[in-house]
Amino acid sequence: MTALNRQWTLARRPRGVPTDADFALVHSPVPVPGEGEFVTRNLILSVDPAQRGWMDEGGNYFPPIPLGAPVSAGIIGEVIASRNDDFPVGQRLYAIGSWSDYSLLGAGFVFRTLPADHDIPLPKFNSLLGGMGCSALIALEEIGKPKAGETLFISGAAGNMGTIAGQIGRLMGLRVVGSAGGAAKCRYLEQELGFAATVDYKAEADLAAALKRVCPEGIDIYYDNVGGPMLEAVLDNINLHARIVMNGSIAEYNDIDPRPGPRNLWNLLVKRASIEGFLLPDFAANIDPALERLEAWYRAGALDAREDVRTDFENMPAIFRALFDGTNTGKLMVRLDGASG
Ligand SMILES: NC(=O)c1ccc[n+]([C@@H]2O[C@H](COP(=O)([O-])OP(=O)(O)OC[C@H]3O[C@@H](n4cnc5c(N)ncnc54)[C@H](OP(=O)(O)O)[C@@H]3O)[C@@H](O)[C@H]2O)c1
């Protein structure tokens, strides 16, 4: 029997939180590589907030996914057919593919290759030891410019980026404070990851006052994963020469109408503070050293990440929504190979 390629495609552009009807599951032939190309059988499909922007008419830092095309996504795959000597059959790698059983790729899509004999659970390469871990480390160092003893505040702190940035912040000697949705997530941050304090943003009527309570000496570095009202609250609490790392704005990704910006941007001038967007490809030279440091911390037991590994590929739209209702319990992904470890 000929193998088929199951692919989740974008049926229409979502308005607000994506619905099932925005996607379609189609079956296509398994692709065949042309000169310089190779085909992966996908083992893990990543489910990321940034994909929401790729579904919009204007895209974000990636061009929009064309209607009817497979939903672009990070994948961990194994090469099964190749016309590129650098990516032989059997090579495992992390690349930008799509929510599909198989991906047709070229070298430009590959973020990293995986060592043949690695002893690390595969999902870790889509969280701590992939683009996410690298982004947390590089953004914190290059834009956050941390100095021991400073206060680092992280929004979306219980998520993948937030937990990694928070642990690295502690390794760098920072006082780490975070916000997350719900008491259970806040307890996890304080009791298991050593956050000095937390804010359950869903339970606070006045976010700026809540930040003043947990950061009485002000905020020196803000690692922003959410944008929206939290950014405004942080701007009311920044210290002189504070650095704001704009890593993501998930609170705004499903907005139908553009929302007004923070009313207090002026505080950047008052505090001679900075705000800078971060995107990993701008720091290509930092990636390999960052991966080495992350793996060393991981092997030493000093740093880890939680993964939320699903297996129900046929429910991809609902899995994607978990990012926006906060029910994911770690780096969200779908495993296709049925294996563990
Ligand atoms: N710049 C880069 O290179 C880069 C790379 C990767 C990710 N990112 C960005 O980093 C952020 C976090 O991504 P992640 O992969 O680590 O996802 P994640 O935090 O593991 O999962 C998303 C979390 O966002 C929170 N959230 C959802 N809607 C929210 C809202 N309206 N207000 C506040 N929090 C909300 C939810 O947690 P709660 O229960 O706490 O609400 C949810 O669990 C995203 O903005 C993403 O786009 C940037």
Average pLDDT over residues 248-273: 95
| Distances 327 to 265, 292, 331 between C-alpha atoms, Å | 32, 31, 11
pLDDT higher than threshold 70 for residue 1: no
Q: Helices H, strands E: what count in the chain?
A: 9, 15
The rounded percent of the chain whose pLDDT value lies above 70 is 98
pLDDT higher than threshold 70 for residue 332: yes
Ligand 1 centroid distance, CA of 14 (Å) = 18
Pocket test residue of 160, 161, 252, 308 for ligand 1, highest count of atoms within 8 A of CB: 161
Could you give the CA distance from residue 318 to residue 338 in angstroms, rounded to a whole number? Answer: 20
Give the atom of ligand 1 at the shortest distance from the alpha carbon of 248. 45
Q: How confident is the model at residue 118 (pLDDT cuts 50, 70, 90)?
A: confident
Q: Sketch the domain layout of the chain as residue ranges.
A: 4-127+306-335, 131-281
Residue 332 and residue 47 in contact, taking contact as beta carbons nearer than 8 Å: yes
Give the atom of ligand 1 at the shortest distance from the alpha carbon of 158. 40
Ligand 1 pocket, CB under 6 A? 48-50, 132, 135, 156, 158-162, 180-182, 185, 225-226, 247-251, 278-280, 323-324, 326, 328, 331
Q: Which has more pLDDT, 340 or 78?
A: 78
Could you give the CA distance from residue 47 to residue 319 in angstroms, rounded to a whole number? Answer: 8
Measured by CA distance, the residue closest to atom 9 of ligand 1 is 248
Q: What pLDDT, in 10s, does the model give residues 170-194?
A: 999 999 999 999 999 999 999 999 9
pTM (predicted TM-score):
0.97
Residue 58 and residue 24 in contact, taking contact as beta carbons nearer than 8 Å: no
User: How high is the pLDDT of residue 196?
Assistant: 98
Give the atom of ligand 1 at the shortest distance from the alpha carbon of 249. 45
Q: What pLDDT, in 10s, does the model give residues 121-147?
A: 999 999 999 999 999 999 999 999 999
Q: What pLDDT, in 10s, does the model give residues 91-109?
A: 999 999 999 999 999 999 9
Measured by CA distance, the residue closest to atom 31 of ligand 1 is 251
**Checking DSSP bridges between strand 72-82 and strand 331-335, what pairing results, if any?**
unpaired
**What tokens does 1 get?**
């029997």
Give the atom of ligand 1 at the shortest distance from the alpha carbon of 330. 20
Ligand 1 centroid distance, CA of 160 (Å) = 8
Q: Does 131-281 carry CATH code 3.90.180.10?
A: no
- Stretch (H or E) spanning 233: helix 228-235
Q: What pLDDT, in 10s, does the model give residues 276-314?
A: 999 999 999 999 999 999 999 999 999 999 999 999 999
How many CB atoms neighbour CB 259 within 10 A? 12
How many CB atoms neighbour CB 88 within 10 A? 10
- What CATH architecture applies to the domain 4-127+306-335? Alpha-Beta Complex (3.90)
User: How high is the pLDDT of residue 61?
Assistant: 86
Q: Which has more pLDDT, 225 or 115?
A: 225
**What tokens does 184 get?**
């259970």
At residue 32, what is the residue type? V
